[in-house]
Structure 1
Amino acid sequence: MTAPSSASHAVARAPTGVANSTGTSGDYGPLALIAGAVRRERALVITTFAILALALPTIVALTVETRTLAGLNVWIKPLKFDASVALLLATYAIGFGLARADDRRRLWVRGAVGLVIVSAVLEIAYISFQAARGEASHFNLSSRWEIVAFQLMGMFAVILTAGAAVAAVLVWRAGPGRLGNGLWLGLVLGFGLTFVLGIVTGFAIGGNGGHFVAAAGAMPGNDLGGIPVFGWSREVGDLRAAHFVGLHVMQILPLVGWAADRLAPRASPWAVLVMALALTGLTVWALVVALSGQSVVPAGW
């Protein structure tokens, strides 16, 4: 008896709802992934759009608000979290949506989806609530209930990041199917590395008691003067840079894999591996530089 070919193995393990084929991501790309997520993971998709909808009144509040926190408008932080959490949930919807039908029905998988959604909603709700009060949500130890709330936020952040590990396992078990080797490997490594790098950099921020690290002890008093959009400090170490890169590996690697499948199919896994090493190295570099008290932004920027 001869062993089944790799192509037949890929067909046998194609995600449910995707026609069996030995094709590549040329016929099953980003739009198909999104459509599959909408069909198969509606709870995650609905929560994503709910959080995006919440961003609209946040933008309105931002335009009329005069209060500041850490030197910035109190609604800046909730708006950033609305965008980042919505993107995270949308990416998870794609990953969970690619799981085999029998895996998606498993209790632990549905439980993981539920925990991710609850954690996301409570995280956004608390950050917005504190902004409305003009109070900090992170590292706020000014009262007993805020200490408890901050500890719960840490737990929610771990759960949200752990969702990436579950997605990595599910996509791995589903096999390439019509995804193409580069796109499939990009999804598996993207989710897996996001979990590892997100946890490491997140705990670095929590263990440091904040995102700033000053080499000479001259800690900045606010977030003013950071680079546009991201807000990372130009003057001292800022752990948020490493955390940002680590969390977004799960979006970057699948795009690299999909593009490589179309341009150079035979080399696409290698392209994903090289980019995975580069992003891991970039995250580690940003973390080490920040922990040394230096800004990752070149002087003068």
Structure 2
Amino acid sequence: MYVLRRIGGWHRPLVLHAALMFGLAVWSFAGLFADDRLLLGEPVWAKPMKFGIAMGIYSLTLAWLLTLLTKGRRVGWWVGTGFAVAGALDVGAVVWAAAHGTFSHFNQESNDVARTVQTVFSFGIMPLIIATLVIAILLLIQRTGDRALTLALRAGLGLAFASMLVAGWLSASGGGYPRTEVDANGQVVSLVGQHGIGDPDGRGMFLTNWSTTGGDLRVPHFVGLHAIQVLLATVLLLRLAAARWEWLRPERVRARLIASVAFGYTGGFVILSWQAARGQSVVHPDGATLVAFVAVAVLALVGAAAVIRAASGPLREAELASRA
């Protein structure tokens, strides 16, 4: 009850939107069992379920972030409200298409369902990108906590914004050639564009449906979009660890460790985008991709190790001296 009361004090439209999205996820999960229709081998309600979960988590994160603002709170409120409205419309279009057993993205048919989805997407996607950018800028011009938290919020929202841009860029670079697919009703549908690069809609992984036979723009999009949750979780873990290890208590130490994590995460995001752009599946990396991942991981770990050594060294020496 305490948690619910706290959440109730956050940005109300975004909290309501998150509740709606989580409700949709539950509804769609039930639909997986109640509706046996398939779209490209995947249950028609799988996509709304994944959208509901992802959008719910992201909206709840934004609702909390807006409570941290000390400057531009009014602007933040209106921007958050715009995000909630646009997000509801966009996900609603996905649900509308799923209910009719057809494609929401890339659908070029001229029937009522396809035209409705096309119209909603044409107006609803850009507000999501703009809202994320504006909130990121508001966080850039002020501190919203200690150094570690502020850095995590800025890096996380920056990666979320980049994930939205890279999705559009990869989609354009993927060719966008017209093709036809059969929807869940057995109707032939004309599509222009694809999630996949190199293989428009190859065989997908379990649950995520990311392509195993080509590049897939959804991989870096997902990773970048949820960077903020990963970084915030790291901040929380460092705070908990600081209760045990004294060398973690200085603010600058935790901020530098967050910087190392953010560097590694950003490097991974860039590599995944590069990998998808080359038409390479995330589960079949080539030598160049593996070398890039190893290089980023080593640099991030070396940076973190240097921070830990510099912070813990003097304390360890003092402890040894006191025992002598």
Query: Is the shorter-chain TM-score for this pair beyond 0.5, marking a shared fold?
Result: yes
Matched residues in 1 for 2:123 and 2:272: separation? 24
Residue in 2 that maps onto 1:285: 271
Matching residue of 1:57: 27
Compare 254-263 and 44-53 and name the one that shifted more: 254-263
Structure 2 residue 54 is the aligned partner of structure 1 residue 88: no
TM-score normalized by the length of structure 2 = 0.71
**What's the CA shift for 1:191?**
1.1
Aligned to 1:200: 166
In structure 2, what residue type is equivalent to 1:181? R
Partner in structure 1 of residue 253 of structure 2: 267
Greater Cα offset, 248-257 or 76-85: 248-257
Which residue is 2:13 aligned to? Answer: 43
2:121 is aligned with 1:153: yes
Aligned partner letter, 1:212:
G
Return the alpha-carbon distance in structure 1 between the equivalents of residues 126 and 173 of structure 2.
Answer: 14
TM-score normalised to the size of structure 1?
A: 0.76
**Cα separation, 1, equivalents of 2:65 and 2:107:** 34
Decide which moves more: 205-214 or 64-73.
205-214
SS of residue paired to 2:9? helix
Corresponding residue for residue 103 of structure 1: 72
Higher CA-based Rg: 2
1:61 shift after superposition: 1.7
Identity, in percent, stands at 28
Structure-2 separation of matches of 1:199 and 1:171: 19
Q: Sort the Cα spacing of 1:164 and 1:271 in 2 relative to 1 into closer, same or farther, 3 A.
A: farther
**Counterpart in 2 of 1:8?**
none
Say which SS state the counterpart of residue 72 (structure 2) adopts: helix
Q: Tell me the distance in 1 between the aligned counterparts of 2:122 and 2:255.
A: 35
Measured after TM superposition, the shift of residue 103 of structure 1 is: 2.4
In the other structure, the counterpart of 2:197 is: 213
Is 2:91 the partner of 1:124? yes
For 2:196, give the aligned amino acid: F
Q: Report the alpha carbon displacement of residue 198 of structure 1 after superposing the two structures with TM.
A: 2.5
Aligned-partner Cα distance in 2 for 1:43–1:275: 32
1:153 partner amino acid: F
CA–CA separation in structure 1 for the residues paired with 2:172 and 2:225 = 16
Give, as a single letter, the amino acid of the residue that structure 2 aligns with 1:117: A
SS where residue 40 of structure 1 aligns?
A: coil
Partner of 1:175: 143
User: Does the CA contact (< 8 Å) of 1:92 and 1:163 recur in 2?
Assistant: no
Tell me by how many angstroms 1:212 deviates. 0.9
| Cα contact 2:66–2:77 (8 A) shared by 1 | no
**Is residue 58–residue 79 contact of structure 1 (8 Å, CA) maintained in 2?**
yes
Gaps of 5+ in 2: 175-192, 243-247, 286-324
- Larger relative CO (CA 8 A, sep 6+): 1 or 2? 1
In structure 2, distance between residues paired with 1:274 and 1:201: 25
